[in-house]
Structure 1
Amino acid sequence: MPTPARRRPTVKDVAKQAGVAPMTVSYAFNQPARVAAATRSRVLEAAAQLGYRPDSTARALRSGRANQLGVVVGEHLSYLFDNPQAAQFLAGITDVCVGEGLGVVLIPTRGDASDVDRVLAAAVDGYVLWTTVADDPVLAAVARSGRPAAIQGGPAHPGLVCIGPDDRAGAAAVAAATPLAEATPVIISFPLDRRRAGGVLRGRDLPPDLMDPQAVPFPVTAARLAGYRDALTAAGHDWSDVRIAVVERNQRELGERAAAALLETLDGGGHVVVLAMSDELALGARAAVGRTRREVTLTGWDGSREAAAAGVWSVAAPLRDQGRACARAALAGGLEGHRVPWSVVAPEGRPVRGYSG
């Protein structure tokens, strides 16, 4: 015969045990300044003996606060833990939440009609948004919700704090740090939009205005492509002929496949510069480069030690710092968005060119 479940102790049970009124128990937990120190100690001792804990849902209803921060994720949730830079961003958010005594709620989106209801139904006091597109209806819904919110890297939206580096300037700077004028450039790009279609394109296949959110809805992709184009054009390359491999996700193995596909399209030998939008993609590309006899210069983004040790030029704009900034902005509810400092990081043993922003 199953053992009957133990009844959860109530405020009335604690009041009886402590010899006080039920309202005194409520004050002891929620408004301790209204209760004498000796009385509150007696209440807390009685609660401990009975195993009583205040109902967090009821407390949230009374206070109007959930004491939780929502992280709205446009990627598969496992990406936050599998990708080292995504994990750093989440770690920055949790740094702030731990300091403030708050919980973190991860809210996945799928790009369908259910996203708005799922995000707004979460019991959170504010939001941090990660990897989304300019036409995402969640942006307007969150802005109208009255809860403070910050978005990493954009897109900019009225009512949301936008925090991130100048991706266009950073991409141009890291590209210019390489021997572009004497080399053939190729690009490994993040997805252009929610379809996450892959494949090899040419510059001519992309819209003329890369920064138009209607043309390239993922803002980080758009800005970095524009920065690469700035540097390539300045170095005398014909943008319309530049080869670009678009990968579905920021994963090392996809960077390897993309680099292999790009190198196969090039005739003859000669120096090649691979402009990858992350260190993970660049490290994947390095594996493909190792199977060729070409001289190749690699660039990435994230400023990781592994990339520097592997000979990759990169851009450092620490995502852990960005996670902290987003969390603080979302909790403060009034901070203006700001640009995150960035710098070009040279491979180990190579001088830094001094670019920064």
Structure 2
Amino acid sequence: MNTRVTMAEVAAAAGVSTMSVSYTYNQPSRVSSATRDRVHAAATQLGYTGPNRAARSLRNGKHNSIGVVLGENLTYAFEDPQARRFLTGIADACLEANTALVMLPNLHSDNDNARIRDAQVDGYVLWTTEIDDPLLDVLVGTGRPTCIQGGPHHPGVEWIGIDDRAAADAVATAAMTEHARPAVVALRPDSRRESTTLHGAEPSDISMPVTRARLEGYRDACVRLGLDWAAVPTLFTTHNARAEGDRAARLLLQDDVVDTLLVMSDELALGVLDAAAATGVDIPTQLAITGWDDSTVAASAGLTTVAQSLFDQGRSAARWVLGLSAAIDSAAWSIEERVSTGRRNGPQTETNMV
């Protein structure tokens, strides 16, 4: 755990804002001489030598930038609503620290590890990756602070995220109060872009930790409710997109044996709503649907979903990497339970969890 004195601690001791401390070291003309004196006095008392990212000379090996590693094409960062939320949180922390943000896609090609390792950055924030991704050991070897969202847990790498397994259990339980023939629309299980459908999918076979944990939670709920997990189909999607959710739903609903779709993202769930509307499936009478992330569009559609703030997670991860915070803030989740018709909002309840 990082124990160096932070900007926030200096700001508290000086009785000023964190931004005033940042300006004192990087744009001193933007604060009064009295404020600068108070900040420098507090810094001396606490043994603070300046912002981590401000020691940017070649002699000290600092670059005043943070690397964001995505296991996706760069376009994903702009197209996926949840990735945008996460990146906006990182950008907010970079703004606070007057630090650049460098996008580093990790598509598991031969030269990705070396390119990311040699990037001119002071630390890394990673979007979730595979459990056995060799990049994790590479980043630990750089000695630079590294934080990953969603996992996997890895020695030397800080982690931020929610309890995906417990959240999946809770949202599946909420969906199956009046329905008992579930299927799962899952995020891809590994770095390959292949779609497949399995009955009784084994979570331990999944290398993506978020997909694994959510599948475990869905299974927990089914088993507790007396359902045969071996009979539950799981369709693994190729990517997280509304059109992919539409395709998955049409495949799973074609035999009319499913009355609940447990879906691992709001984007996919919105595609399920599209398929239901196009095929005349009545929601919620004939089909219950759950999503994940509580996007604005999902709320408008009335989806029951798992709410988490990826903005807060991105900001907290980046602040830790930048030395603005000595610890990772805990990430909370809740179940937003609604009655969805795909056209209007319904009643809503909330269960808060950490």
TM-score category of the 2 structures, normalised to the smaller one: 0.7 to 0.9
1:258 aligns with 2:248: yes
User: Aligned partners of 1:216 and 1:179: how far apart in 2?
Assistant: 24
Partner amino acid, structure 2, of 1:154? G
Superposed, which structure 2 residues align to 1:1-357 within 5 Å?
A: 60-180=57-177, 182-203=179-200, 206-207=201-202, 210=203, 212=204, 215-267=205-257, 272-290=259-277, 291-294=279-282, 295-332=286-323, 335=326, 339-347=330-338, 348-352=345-349, 354-357=351-354
User: Aligned partners of 2:120 and 2:72: how far apart in 1?
Assistant: 21
SS in 2 for 1:140: helix
User: Aligned partners of 2:139 and 2:110: how far apart in 1?
Assistant: 14
User: Aligned partners of 1:125 and 1:111: how far apart in 2?
Assistant: 22
Q: Any conservation in 1 of the 2:180–2:227 contact (CA below 8 Å)? A: no
1:315 Cα deviation from its structure 2 partner: 0.6
User: Aligned partners of 1:102 and 1:93: how far apart in 2?
Assistant: 10
**What do the CA deviations read for 1:237-293 (whole angstroms, capped 9, x no partner)?**
1000101111011111001100110001334xxx71111000000001100111233
Q: Any conservation in 2 of the 1:168–1:225 contact (CA below 8 Å)? A: yes
User: Aligned partners of 1:72 and 1:173: how far apart in 2?
Assistant: 30
1:308 Cα deviation from its structure 2 partner: 2.0
Which structure has the larger Rg?
A: 1
Structure 1 333/223 Cα, relative in aligned 2: closer, same or farther at 3 Å?
A: farther
Partner amino acid, structure 1, of 2:234? I
User: Aligned partners of 2:57 and 2:72: how far apart in 1?
Assistant: 29
User: Aligned partners of 1:81 and 1:355: how far apart in 2?
Assistant: 29
Partner amino acid, structure 2, of 1:321? D
Q: Any conservation in 2 of the 1:150–1:330 contact (CA below 8 Å)? A: yes
Q: Any conservation in 2 of the 1:200–1:262 contact (CA below 8 Å)? A: no
User: Aligned partners of 1:228 and 1:59: how far apart in 2?
Assistant: 47
Structure 1 339/234 Cα, relative in aligned 2: closer, same or farther at 3 Å?
A: farther
Structure 1 261/183 Cα, relative in aligned 2: closer, same or farther at 3 Å?
A: same
5+ residue gaps, structure 1: 1-28, 38-57
Partner amino acid, structure 2, of 1:129? L
User: Aligned partners of 1:181 and 1:222: how far apart in 2?
Assistant: 26
Partner amino acid, structure 2, of 1:246? F
Q: Any conservation in 2 of the 1:75–1:131 contact (CA below 8 Å)? A: no
Partner amino acid, structure 1, of 2:273? R
Partner amino acid, structure 1, of 2:172? A
Structure 1 231/339 Cα, relative in aligned 2: closer, same or farther at 3 Å?
A: farther
TM-score, length-scaled by structure 2:
0.78
Structure 1 345/65 Cα, relative in aligned 2: closer, same or farther at 3 Å?
A: same
Q: Any conservation in 1 of the 2:334–2:350 contact (CA below 8 Å)? A: no
**What do the CA deviations read for 1:304-344 (whole angstroms, capped 9, x no partner)?**
12112212100111111111011012122985556410000
User: Aligned partners of 2:138 and 2:113: how far apart in 1?
Assistant: 7
User: Aligned partners of 1:160 and 1:334: how far apart in 2?
Assistant: 16
5+ residue gaps, structure 2: 1-24, 34-54, 339-344
Equivalenced residue count is: 294
User: Aligned partners of 2:324 and 2:118: how far apart in 1?
Assistant: 19
Partner amino acid, structure 1, of 2:226? G
